[in-house]
Structure 1
Amino acid sequence: MINRLDLRGRSLSARELVDALPRAQLRVEDAAERVAPIIEAVRHRGADELRDLAERFDGVRPVHLRVPAEAFEDALRGLAPDVRAAIEESIARVRKVHAAQLPQPFTVDLAPGAQVRQRWVPVARVGLYVPGGLAVYPSSVIMNVVAAQEAGVRSLAVASPPQADQGGLPHPTILAACALLGVDEVYAVGGAQAVAMFAYGARGTEEQDGDVLCEPVAVVTGPGNVYVAAAKRLVRGVVGIDAEAGTTEIAVLADAGADPVHVAADLISQAEHDPAAASVLVTPSVELAGAVEARLKDRVEGTRHAARVAEALGGPQSAIVVVDSIEHGIEVVDAYGAEHLEIQTADAADVAERISNAGAIFVGPYSPVPLGDYMAGSNHVLPTGGCAHFASGLGVHSFVKAVQVVEYSADALAEVADRLVAFAEAEDLPAHGEAVRARFS
């Protein structure tokens, strides 16, 4: 059902530890080789290529690549009241948290007449990707859109894969969530091709497309599979990206006091996303490891997506990792850098404060990862594949840039002129110094 890795008594270097931990066989760099031709084809052929790729990957050739207005109205009318209430509650909670993320401007007076100010400016236009393969993700609409709206972005476009059973449009729950958020620029485009469309724009080729189907954006964000992550890696530099948010993963750091039913349920909850999803338990308790294995066998058979879950749990990306102690476990999960990290130990809050590398940390038995997926108020678009070592999850910061404003008076410039000239001469850039002296000659 799930592999077991015993790290007890092993002294590993940081690199050896990373290499020993479970990881998916298909890496982003491998996927990038397959994705590169798709990006180039979309860049040069526009809407024609997008339709060809939809037919190839999604089994439908969309008539409308840009979703027409009436589709939003139909989706909202068909939305079940309890689902609408859940979406609206999630929007309110996510908006409240993200409003608090807004970075503050500052002004520093270095001397009389010498001032540096910094202000935060939202990017002009963003492309927000919402996956739609094995599941439906209105929650990802919320996470992307609310963060961008709270940052002050004025132009937002959403892309989600066309569905064969929806006439080539994205799933109606996706469209309803967009409508509730006031977003009407939505494209029936999935996967790496959506990232390419956002990065380079796409010209239209049929009457309903117009001359330009989609204008390019400044930043592309959103979760997806390894191919979406690879596409984001390839267009980085043409546009900004949030992080390489690929196939989902969970790590649980638990001691002997953790409830094996909770742990097993949480591992399964992530495994049902995708056969390539990663579920990892790190524990010093052999007894807990055995109990979780037993609960997995019982629970997997009864879950709706049993085949998918079993494949994910049995894959090389998932394992129960047995360690010497919680101290050793902290070292292991920090090396792993999970997208989602649950702490189910005694003094869980203190343990959580010692973790540096995780997309999001869920503390205690009543903070499961699905809470963060929907209702916690935090963002569920998080770095995967170890990218949590250097990248943050999606937030307001993903959509703003800092602009520094420098303002010196003549006296303030004169005060540092000689030192500036000395610096310029030391770097063999004399014209830099001359540009200052010219103001006082």
Structure 2
Amino acid sequence: MQKIDLRGRSLSTAEMLAAVPRAEAARAEALATAAQIVADVREHGEKSLREQAERFDRVTDHAIRIPAEHVAEAVAALEPRIRAALEESINRVRLASQAQVPASVATTIAPGAQIVQRWQPVSRVGVYIPGGKAVYPSSVIMNVVPAQVAGVTQIALASPPQSDQGGRIHPTILAAAGLLGVTEIYAMGGAGAIGAFAWGVPELDLDPVDVVSGPGNNFVASAKRAVAGVVGTDSEAGATEILIVADATANPLYVAADLVSQAEHDEQASAVLVTDSADLADAVLIRVAELALRTRHSERVTAALDGPQSAVVLVDDRAAAAAFSNAYAPEHLELHLADAAAAAADFTSAGAVFVGDHTPVSLGDYLAGSNHVLPTGGQARYAPGLGAYTFLRPQQVITYDRDALSTVREGIVALANTEVLPAHGEAIEARFTHSDPTKA
């Protein structure tokens, strides 16, 4: 990992971001390709999906829509220990997601005038689960459970067909879907799956969805951008990111292990340590080098840690660390600080904040109860992670009686005339000049 010394410098937000640039080149290259793939699926449907499966997944002649028996077989074959962990994760995520559904609120504006703020679930959701360098049954839970809690009645799930599974989706992903009662499942991957959800595929009885959610690679994130406006999407979750803010009291092994854990995802993963302790920085670099050599995906981890998107950043003090973190707006933020709980209030821009030595990102990935589908690429400045609210639409229901309308009659007419929209005012006057609608 590179070491970047920002001590003694007063930097703008742009200068801080330039110090540790994200891996943007691959995302830019993916945009045009993903848009073309989505357009091809829209035009050619199943034919396009099969061509993509052969090209990208090395699979032919597979069942794109998964038969129910495949799901039942996967659930039956689940190792008890894995099933217990999945069920515990489901329970915890369901509990946390229930807190994300706002109650309806009725506001009385005046006598006879009421506005009800209610939250309506979308009708149909398409969930995408990656299936490339790793297997993600946890992502099934993180996407499906919040949608169910929100009240979504139709949930379709897609994941790439696997050549080593005879063209089926990975059985652990199928099993997780089965445990959650998802029955509409498709073996299709990447940008093509996002296009299929957005436009539908009549040959497969796949109807368009209202919202697409789920993590994925740069092509999946770019495909979401291509279908934005056609369907709703969650944030464009690209390559994973971890930023750790630590002081001299932090345990170098914990910090290094957590950096390596996220670098394991992808060669483009970002792993950043921000600290005001030069001694800690040096100790972490030694530990990272040791752990990266020993871990199973050593080559992938090393590529991510050696990339320009990963670094150890030295800053003057806690305030400078908070300023850097808030400018960077990481997907995952860990605080390894002597007063981590109190300090958390200063760190406002992150997909999720993990506080203290015993709250690693790995906990959030599986069994914290929080959601691990989070905004990357700095989107945490303005976008939330996935939750029940992703599948809800706030809606206002307005009710005025005649007396309540009469109190604002004059004001509405005045404003309508000011805006040169007299028919707006005439619509109000009609209710008073013609008190009996049958005689209007």
- TM-score normalised by the shorter chain: which range applies? over 0.9
**Structure 2 residue 242 is matched with structure 1 residue 280:** no
Deviates more, 1:219-228 or 1:423-432: 423-432
The structural deviation recorded for 1:11 is 1.7
What does residue 304 of structure 1 align with?
A: 296
**Structure 2 residue 78 is matched with structure 1 residue 86:** no
**Structure 2 residue 253 is matched with structure 1 residue 253:** no
Letter in 2 for 1:316: P
| Contact 1:249 1:384 (C-alpha < 8 Å) held by counterparts | yes
| Contact 1:25 1:316 (C-alpha < 8 Å) held by counterparts | no
- Cα separation, 2, equivalents of 1:16 and 1:425: 50
- Cα separation, 2, equivalents of 1:99 and 1:180: 19
The structural deviation recorded for 1:29 is 4.2
What does residue 46 of structure 1 align with?
A: 45
Alignment of 1:231-246 (within 5 A): 231-246=223-238
What does residue 129 of structure 1 align with?
A: 128
| Contact 2:34 2:223 (C-alpha < 8 Å) held by counterparts | yes
Alignment gaps of 5+ in structure 1: none
**Structure 2 residue 228 is matched with structure 1 residue 227:** no
| Contact 1:62 1:167 (C-alpha < 8 Å) held by counterparts | no
- Cα separation, 2, equivalents of 1:174 and 1:357: 32
The structural deviation recorded for 1:183 is 0.5
The structural deviation recorded for 1:27 is 5.5
The structural deviation recorded for 1:62 is 4.6
| Contact 1:25 1:317 (C-alpha < 8 Å) held by counterparts | no
Q: CA RMSD in A?
A: 1.1
Letter in 2 for 1:121: Q
| Contact 1:54 1:62 (C-alpha < 8 Å) held by counterparts | no
- Cα separation, 1, equivalents of 2:172 and 2:221: 24
| Contact 1:232 1:244 (C-alpha < 8 Å) held by counterparts | yes
What does residue 437 of structure 1 align with?
A: 429
For these two proteins, the number of residue pairs brought into alignment is: 433
What does residue 438 of structure 2 align with?
A: none
User: What whole-Å deviation, never above 9, does each CA across 1:311-333 have from its counterpart, x for those lacking one?
Assistant: 11111111111111111000000
| Contact 1:62 1:169 (C-alpha < 8 Å) held by counterparts | no
| Contact 1:342 1:364 (C-alpha < 8 Å) held by counterparts | yes
| Contact 1:116 1:405 (C-alpha < 8 Å) held by counterparts | yes
Corresponding residue SS for 1:439: helix
User: What whole-Å deviation, never above 9, does each CA across 1:103-154 have from its counterpart, x for those lacking one?
Assistant: 1111111111111112111100000011111000000000000000000000
- Cα separation, 2, equivalents of 1:367 and 1:47: 44
Alignment of 1:409-424 (within 5 A): 409-424=401-416
Letter in 1 for 2:50: R
- Cα separation, 1, equivalents of 2:358 and 2:242: 16
What does residue 68 of structure 1 align with?
A: 67
Corresponding residue SS for 2:25: coil
Corresponding residue SS for 1:109: strand
| Contact 1:120 1:401 (C-alpha < 8 Å) held by counterparts | yes
- Cα separation, 1, equivalents of 2:61 and 2:168: 7
TM-score computed with the length of structure 1 as normaliser: 0.96
- Of the three residues 322, 328, 331, the one matched with 1:336 is 328
**Structure 2 residue 391 is matched with structure 1 residue 392:** no
**Structure 2 residue 57 is matched with structure 1 residue 58:** yes
Alignment gaps of 5+ in structure 2: 434-440
TM-score computed with the length of structure 2 as normaliser: 0.97
- Cα separation, 1, equivalents of 2:172 and 2:305: 29
- Cα separation, 2, equivalents of 1:319 and 1:224: 24
Alignment of 1:74-113 (within 5 A): 74-113=73-112
The structural deviation recorded for 1:160 is 0.6
| Contact 2:244 2:335 (C-alpha < 8 Å) held by counterparts | yes
Percentage of pairs with the same residue: 55
The structural deviation recorded for 1:34 is 1.7
What does residue 163 of structure 1 align with?
A: 162
- Of the three residues 349, 358, 364, the one matched with 2:341 is 349
